[in-house]
Structure 1
């Protein structure tokens, strides 16, 4: 009986670990509501989210949005796509803001499909990252980010 209980606890811990790790494996996409915005290469997307690029060729300046601080999606996106922790990303943006070379993406108030859609509706030059499972109806995918690839 003890053995069976230990096995049950083991499976529960395994299930919980998979649930916590799910956002990192879910895969992310960059989306917009603007039909005239061009698709984005992975390298340009990285440059945008590192503050090294502010505009896209033949389109001009773009605006980025982030999930709220502490969101599992924000942490998973930056870790998987840029291989950076949130403290590293926050430090980078703080340096850019202090030097006047950039400002961090605006943060959503809540981590929901509705919040992403509302933000994009009010920002015609806006780009958001969302898990593949959370792409709002009417959104256009600019880049499908392949997860799990060594960078």
Structure 2
């Protein structure tokens, strides 16, 4: 990952950026922590198998705000955003560590139903990218999570007619 957001060590309420090639820490614009945040991320790390894709991201996202994540292709923007609604759960070999709270609730709680979570945490990408799965699995995903295909044959019919 070329650029990553990392928590500051002195808690100055500033985001920092690390260039993975030379490990320089560069101050970035904007407050990393806000009063009364809707989403709180602390020490979030993402692994794809042995690859450490995102390191120690800590940021608050304010209520009723729209955020934009800007960076070069492959720097981890989409990977981080997928952490916020647990879409990384759908990727084999992907592991997310750290804490992510939505309205004070841990989104990785085993009791949490991800369907309402995903309804609350939406994202729009500049270029639509399907999940890193087969075309069949991408088409079948929606009907599966919404219970629209009670049987395998129902799911086959939905996918084939899509």
| TM-score after normalising by structure 2 | 0.23
Higher RCO, 1 vs 2 (CA within 8 Å, ≥6 residues apart): 1
| TM-score after normalising by structure 1 | 0.25
Structure with more of its chain in strand, by fraction? 2
